[in-house]
Structure 1
Amino acid sequence: MSSLAAQLGQSFSDNPLRLAFLKWQCHVRQLSMRNNDGRPDDAIMPEVTPRGAAEPLGAVITVMNKAPGYSVTPELQHMAAKTNDPAQRRQNALQFLSATYYQKAKEFSDILTATFPPGSPGAKTLHEAKHATLTFEAYGQRFDLECKIWRLAPHNLLHQATMAHNILFNPTLPPATEVLGFEPDWDASRADPPIGRR
């Protein structure tokens, strides 16, 4: 895996775990938007364990972004610009994201992203570790994703998509917010129960 994957917004693994995880994420995120007002739960907030650490650093709220060919970043930015009312902005986002947004797993990048406050010690620890395990556990399914960590620059498509998504739910997000990308190594990652055995 190279920085090219991070620039392109997705890796190109054909490991069956990749599509199984993306399908599961689409399902649980659609449930969150439709039934939980978009509030993240354990299916969206994995425990993050930096490589070499004995304990998780904590849980992070991840964003799953459309791959660049299917990007809706301009639509999300327009939605945010259309109103200054945070409640209306959130309602518009929930309507948009709970409709058909999560219906096609193949349209999504497998590089998950998360935002951190400017100067975040957690982001610094993760970036310096260069690798971490993301552990998702919810609805009777667990995924342990072994990930390479990228600090995404503002011009990166996934940085832009993440900020556009998160500003809809948190309009006070500072412009200098840090965005990290987590690029899974699918061959080193695991699922329990294993994919295809349910």
Structure 2
Amino acid sequence: MSSDNVVLIGEAAEELRDEFLHWQCRLRQMAMREQAGRPSRGMRPKVETKQGEELSPGIVVLIHKTDSEDSTALFRHQVLKTQDPVERWEKAVDHLAAAYFQRHREFSDTLTALFGPGHGLPDHLLNHRHVVLEFYEFSRRYRLPCTVAELAESDAVFQHTYWHNRLFNPNLPAGVRILAFQPDWSHASVINEEEEE
């Protein structure tokens, strides 16, 4: 499954999607429990063109529950409840380290990334429309061809991304932009590098 020329159909594509989301949930739970919420390498994919040109060495991406309204409301409440950034951070880590990432099947496969105003990368990615996100951690490498789109502020996934980021960064400026990455699982691949040796 390591070749970019392999096309996965039906169950095989669904299995890869399921495996990736399970892996992401595990990485994120570990980051919350062991790294105080700091994103690990596997949460910061490299971004390339389909031809392999690097567009970014790494962007932090989020995963979202399919039904994210309750989570968004909770994140927003926690942000507005206290002006103490340390207390806010600790509450966020406690919540996300508990059962939040326990059930990977509750998560959508849409990934998002937040960028500050004036950052040039979002326009560059949108101009390409299709990019490859390469995730790597613990000898496992996923390559996900994705369609890129910008989310409107009114979008539920925009709001979820925004309030999640506010939990960890109280100084988010006005005018942030949020991009969504929708994987094409039929052309995605995984490499377990231990198996290759």
How much identity, in percent, do the aligned residues show? 35
Q: Which residue of 2 aligns with 1:137?
A: 136
Tell me what 1:162 maps to. 161
RMSD of aligned Cα (Å): 1.8
Distance in 2, Cα, partners of 1:86 & 1:50: 37
Q: CA deviation at 1:193?
A: 2.3
TM-score by length of 1: 0.87
CA deviations over 1:147-168 (Å, ceiling 9, x no partner): 0001000011110000010000
Preserved CA contact (<8 Å) 2:24 2:42 = yes
Return the offset for 1:68.
Answer: 2.4
Q: Count residues with an aligned counterpart.
A: 183
The residue correspondences of 1:1-198 to structure 2 (distance < 5 A) are 15-52=14-51, 54-68=53-67, 71-193=70-192
Q: Distance in 2 between matches of 1:104 and 1:74?
A: 20
Separation in 2, partners of 1:14, 1:53: 22
3-state SS of paired residue (1:40)? coil
Name segments (4+ residues, structure 1) moved above 4 Å. Answer: none
Q: Distance in 2 between matches of 1:178 and 1:69?
A: 19
Q: Partner amino acid for 2:157?
A: L
Tell me which amino acid in the other structure corresponds to 2:184. Answer: D
Partner Cα separation in structure 2 for residue 50 and residue 56 of structure 1: 7
SS, match of residue 109 in structure 2: coil
Q: Mind listing any 5+ residue stretches in structure 2 that lack a counterpart?
A: 1-11
TM-score by length of 2: 0.88
**Does the residue aligned with 2:135 lie in a helix, a strand or coil?**
strand
Larger radius of gyration: 2
